[in-house]
Amino acid sequence: MAGVRRRVVAHGRVQGVFFRDATRREAERHGVAGSATNAPDGSVECVFEGDDDAVEAMIAFVRGGPGHSSVDSVDVSEEQPEGLTGFSAG
């Protein structure tokens, strides 16, 4: 899959509030590959890979606080695409 890859870390009340599952559903809707995982510091780390518009839509989705979350801040970094397929919310 050509396109872009972004690593997105969401801080706030983001664990135990269906954040990862809501993100997975939205990513599948946009055709974005990647993952959403809980980090030990209480944040959720996401990797989004796909076309630029779809990945930007996912970043906006995370900033909006999916599920019952309350997002305080979001860190976004650019990475080289790896050709991921599917989306994991484990």
Which range marks the domain in which residue 17 is found?
4-82
90 domain residue, yes or no: no
Question: Among positive and negative, which fits the CA dihedral 11, 12, 17, 22?
Answer: negative
N-terminal to C-terminal alpha carbon distance within the chain:
22
pLDDT tens per residue across span 13-61: 999 999 999 999 999 999 999 999 999 999 999 999 999 999 999 999 9
pLDDT band of 66, cuts 50, 70, 90: confident
88 domain residue, yes or no: no
12 domain residue, yes or no: yes
Our count of domains for the chain comes to 1
Catalytic residues: 20, 38
Output the domain CATH number for residue 9: 3.30.70.100
Looking at the predicted structure, is the pLDDT value of residue 1 above 80? no
89 domain residue, yes or no: no
